[in-house]
């Protein structure tokens, strides 16, 4: 029988602890509410941060994501155009009948 790695043992202990933690329905509900509250707070903080960055004339995370998507699309288009150009040039070099 192979010995468990430290990671596997830690996972087992963590799973047992989570099981015990969520055994009590009231405790599980309180934890779920707390997590939900934290998610809402993080979303509100992200929105405030985005507004502040825009007000300061700085770029936001979404701006970077959008620019990255646009850059990827442009790179694909350049690659497609380069391939088309290569085909056209190759066809011009072929001797005619």
Q: What is the pLDDT of residues 21-77, one digit of tens each?
A: 899 999 999 999 999 999 999 999 999 998 999 899 998 888 999 999 999 999 999
Spatial separation of the C-alpha atoms in residues 14 and 29, rounded to whole Å: 19
Q: What is the dihedral of CA 86, 90, 93, 96, to 10 degrees?
A: -140
Spatial separation of the C-alpha atoms in residues 54 and 51, rounded to whole Å: 5
Spatial separation of the C-alpha atoms in residues 57 and 63, rounded to whole Å: 12
pTM here is 0.51
pLDDT of 97 reads: 61
């Amino acid at each position: 029988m192979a010995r468990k790695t430290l990671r596997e043992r830690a996972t087992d202990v963590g799973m047992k602890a989570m099981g015990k933690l969520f055994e009590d329905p009231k405790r599980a509900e309180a934890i779920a509410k707390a997590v939900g509250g934290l998610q809402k707070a993080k979303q509100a903080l992200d929105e405030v941060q985005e507004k502040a960055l825009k007000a300061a004339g700085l770029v936001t995370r979404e701006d970077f994501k959008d620019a990255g998507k646009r850059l990827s699309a442009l790179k694909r288009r350049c690659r497609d155009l380069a391939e088309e150009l290569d085909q056209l040039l190759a066809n011009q070099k072929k001797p005619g009948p």
